[in-house]
Chains A and B, each alone.
Chain A
Amino acid sequence: MKVGLFIPCYVDQFYPKVAIATLELLESLGCDVHYPLNQTCCGQPMANSGFARLTSACDANFMHNFQGFDYVVSPSGSCVLHIKEHLHSEKDAKTANILRGGIYELTEFLTDVLKVKNLPARFPHRVGYHMSCHGQRGLGLSSASEIVGKPFSKPLQLLNLVNDLELVTLKRNDECCGFGGTFCVSEEAVSVKMGKDRVADHLAQKVEYIVGGDMSCLMHIEGILKRQKSTVKILHIAEILNSK
């Protein structure tokens, strides 16, 4: 199975260990993983700022780097959702269409394609899971508390396979952290307040780690934790699933 690894730009620059964990995890599960060297960004920062019309160069670059794989996998629900909803090409609509359908967020790739039923991972700590909105409500990685239906969660299904991990229940298990892309600076006051409230919910459960599937949200949460001089750390779910 030939997998193209898409590493979001901010993960490449700020959290290489998350990309390494994703790569190692996929390889340990038998995937033939390739990292195309000229990848950059999915184009979401421009599109969400109201300039989707500028993203054709990002789209072209993405398509150039990622065509020809069986699957494209990325450790970010948000970037994957952007590709799924907005990747387009006037010159090559067919490839764009294939890529929109063939890109997977890491946890759904593990549960739905690789159908992972057990993992050798061990993580003897108290963990709170931050369910990022684009993964949850956009990609349907887990049920949302507003919707009437059977509850499910692909990331938690995976965390339940990890030995000795203690998962806490939050008071509000799927409220947005307030990162929101450029929202985090253009609406700084509300963004920070939302982040502080999320952090407080996790701290009230005495977690040691706040874990999630999107480093953008976690970067915002980390910024608040560090300003509060908290010892609680953030981790991407790939780092836990890849832990030994």
Chain B
Amino acid sequence: MNATVAQQFKLSHSDAAEEFNIDEPRVNWHDEALWFVREKRDKAVKQIPEWELLRGVASDIKDNVLTSLDVYLTDFEANAQRNGIKVHWAADADEHNRIVLDIIQKHGVQKMVKSKSMLTEECHLNPFLEKNGIEVVDTDLGERIVQFRDEPPSHIVLPAIHIKKREVGDLFHEVLGTDAGADDPQYLTEAARQHLREKFLLADLALTGVNFAIAETGGFVVCTNEGNADMGAHLAKVHIASMGLEKVIPKAAHLAVFLRLLARSATGQPATTYASHFHKPQKGQEMHVIIVDNGRSTQLGRKEFRNSLKCIRCAACLNTCPVYRRSGGHAYHNAVSGPIGIILAPNLDMKKNVDLPFASTLCGACTNVCPVKIDIHNQIWQWRQVVTQEAPVDFTKKQGTHLMNTVLSNPKIYRLAGKIGRKTMRFAPFLVNNGLNPWYKQREMPEPPKESFREWYVKNKKAP
């Protein structure tokens, strides 16, 4: 991880976002790039008159999955095994990583390729494997770019959205030997293509994610735009697919709902370029599926938060979030950033992620775009209630809220405080308009009136 990002990961969301905002033109560029994707999504979904109904159906299917998760998972396991797939269960990130390493060592693998998988980011698989001497090559173009930069993805679908093409040009010049100063996207992509082609051909093992695992068939679907999952899985002797345990769906027919929702929500495409269906290993190949819990069953047990497990990782909530667009994904210091990251992260580590539920204005746009109708902004509000009880909260904040409550719930104290406050602002504005007041840093304070509405009302309106 490079110095800036490492530093950012130690910062709270608000501090990291403040740093991100030092370069305002860059914030504008980041905001516009993601807003463009949000508008593409709007255009695509508005061509489907039954869009809102489709969201409801998807949400209902996922409700059914979450109430019978054990059944669907064991069905999936049995059917996958019947197809010749080896199925593993991992309780947490460490166990997942050890299972991967075991398979690698069993086959004497030196080189492996990996297509996009937020789960392996969550499990910090790459650093673990590198420590064990295994070269992992991320084959999604955006993932490869952030891997070269030694930083995590800043977005779950567009991992390198925070990097400008000129910066990619400089990076490729350094690591791939492209012409200095070249920033033509086609030229740079071609260079990456040639570079990755060699990696695909030499890899002994390919790891992919899983978008949907189908209980009734024991097969699974991986969606990419670059075909890199297929390229890896078809060429290597061993294919490992890592999936969060919430990725199971009951029937293949349900793909007709989810595949229509996924790409439209993610990028505004009608479908991802590739939706690859894997059912069994090719002759001479080995296929493994690792089903990972890593906190998911705990989340399933949290009544208010369980339906966060419906998430299909489309990132529509990131693209629409006005806070995400202006703070960047790294400010969330979690593999999954943005609104969905806010409601998943505290379940993984409440202490570390205590700041995240406050990185939102609760505007509700995330809930409106979610293709599986997760009530994201309500869950953000709920997490605030939880973290202020269960995680260490700043003492000043706690005392401040108690004081605010005393003032605002007691009519006499409220009126007195209001009067004193307005007088102070009128006659000693320097007490408020100073560097200690974060409001005043970039905004003027409201002009305090001589009398409150109540004072006016008593004088002018109150019945005798």
A19 touches B320 (CB 8 A): no
State whether A41 touches B409 (Cβ < 8 A): yes
- A149 near B408 (CB under 8 angstroms)? no
Residue B181 interfacial (CB < 8 Å): no
- CB of B35 within 8 Å of the partner chain: yes
Whether B446 and A223, one on each chain, are in contact in the complex, defined by CB atoms closer than 8 angstroms, is yes
Is B414 a contact of A146 with CB atoms below 8 Å?
no
In the complex, chain A residues whose CB is within 8 Å of the CB of B418: 9, 12-13
Cβ of B364 within 8 Å of any chain A Cβ, yes or no, is yes
Q: Are B361 and A197 in contact (CB under 8 A)?
A: no
Contact between chains at A224 and B443 (CB < 8 Å)? yes
User: A52 to B365, Cβ gap below 8 A?
Assistant: no
Which chain B positions have C-beta within 8 A of A187? 13-14, 17, 323, 358-359
1/0 per residue, CB under 8 A from A, across B26-50: the answer is 0100010001000000100110110
Assuming the contacts A20-B456, A195-B443, asked whether A183 and B360 have C-beta atoms less than 8 A apart, the reply is yes
- Within 8 Å by CB of A220, from B404, B443, B462, lies B443
User: A147 within 8 Å of B by Cβ?
Assistant: yes
Is B131 positioned at the interface, with any CB of A under 8 Å from its CB?
no
Contacts of B51 in A (CB 8 A): 148
- Inter-chain contact B402/A12, CB cutoff 8 Å: no
B445 at the interface (CB under 8 A from A): yes
Q: Decide yes or no whether A144 CB sits under 8 A from chain B.
A: yes
Q: A51-B401, A146-B365, A183-B360 are in contact. Are A19 and B388 (CB under 8 A)?
A: no
CB of A222 within 8 Å of the partner chain: yes
| A41: chain B residues within 8 A (beta carbon) | 408-409, 414
Closest to B393 in A: A50
A137 touches B364 (CB 8 A): yes
* Partner-contacting stretch, out of A53-61, A97-105, A152-160: A53-61
Residues of B within 8 A of A186 (CB): 14, 358, 438
For the complex, is B357 an interface residue (Cβ under 8 Å from A)? Answer: yes
Tally of B interface residues using CB under 8 Å: 75
Distance in angstroms from B406 CB to nearest chain A CB is 8
Q: Check A11 for interface membership: any CB of B closer than 8 A.
A: yes
A45-B408 contact, Cβ under 8 Å, with A12-B452, A137-B364: yes
Q: Which stretch, B137-145, B300-308, B379-387, touches the partner chain A?
A: B379-387
Contact with A along B217-249 (1 / 0, CB 8 A): 000000000000000000000000000000000
Interchain CB contact (< 8 A) of B438 among A47, A52, A176, A185: A185
A12 touches B454 (CB 8 A): yes
Asked if A14 contacts B446 (CB within 8 A), the reply is yes
Report B379-417 residues with CB < 8 Å from chain A CB. Answer: 381, 384-385, 387-389, 393, 397, 401-402, 404-405, 408-411, 414
Residues of B within 8 A of A191 (CB): 361
Which residues from A are CB-within-8-Å of B438?
A: 185-186, 188
**B464: chain A residues within 8 A (beta carbon):** none
Residue of B358, B384, B414, B462 touching A9 (CB-CB under 8 A): B414
Indicate if the CB atoms of A133 and B357 lie closer than 8 Å. Answer: no
B449 within 8 A of A: yes
In the assembled complex, the CB of B356 is this many whole angstroms from the nearest CB of chain A, namely: 11
Contacts of B389 in A (CB 8 A): 53
Does chain A have a CB within 8 A of B322?
Answer: yes
- Are A57 and B443 within 8 A (Cβ)? no
- Per the 8 Å Cβ criterion, residues 32-49 of A in contact with B are 35, 37-41, 43, 45-49
What B residues does A179 contact at CB under 8 A? 361
CB distance from B342 to the nearest CB of A (A): 12
* CA–CA, A190 and B16, complex, Å: 10
From B322, B358, B421, A175 is in contact (CB under 8 Å) with B322
Indicate if the CB atoms of A224 and B409 lie closer than 8 Å. no
- B177 shortest CB reach to chain A, Å: 38
Q: Which residues of A contact B365 (CB under 8 A)?
A: 133, 137, 144, 146, 175-176
* Shortest Cβ gap from B36 to chain A (Å): 12
Partner of A137, one of B52, B363, B408, B462: B363
**B24 close to A193 (CB less than 8 A):** yes
Contact, CB under 8 Å: A227 / B452: no
B430 at the interface (CB under 8 A from A): no
Chain A residue nearest to B357 in the complex (CB): A50
In the complex, whether B439 has a CB less than 8 A from a CB of chain A is: yes
Contact A7 B401 (CB under 8 A): no
Partner of A223, one of B411, B445, B462: B445
Which of B's residues lie within 8 Å of A, judged by CB?
13-14, 17-18, 20-21, 24, 27, 31, 35, 42, 45-46, 48-49, 51-52, 320, 322-323, 326-327, 357-365, 367-369, 381, 384-385, 387-389, 393, 397, 401-402, 404-405, 408-411, 414, 418, 421-422, 438-439, 441-449, 451-458, 461-462
Q: Identify 28 residue pairs between A and B in the complex whose beta-carbon atoms are under 8 Å apart, listed by A's number.
A: A7-B453, A9-B408, A9-B414, A14-B446, A17-B449, A23-B461, A37-B454, A37-B462, A41-B414, A46-B404, A49-B384, A50-B357, A51-B385, A54-B405, A58-B405, A58-B409, A137-B367, A144-B364, A148-B45, A181-B361, A187-B13, A189-B17, A189-B21, A192-B442, A194-B322, A194-B326, A227-B442, A227-B443
Per CB-CB distance, the 10 closest pairs between chain A and chain B, nearest first, are: A223-B443, A180-B361, A50-B384, A50-B388, A57-B409, A137-B364, A176-B363, A133-B363, A16-B453, A226-B444
* Seed contacts A19-B457, A53-B389, A145-B42; 16 additional CB < 8 Å A-B pairs: A11-B453, A16-B452, A39-B411, A40-B408, A41-B414, A46-B404, A48-B384, A50-B358, A51-B405, A54-B402, A137-B364, A144-B368, A148-B46, A176-B365, A184-B439, A223-B443
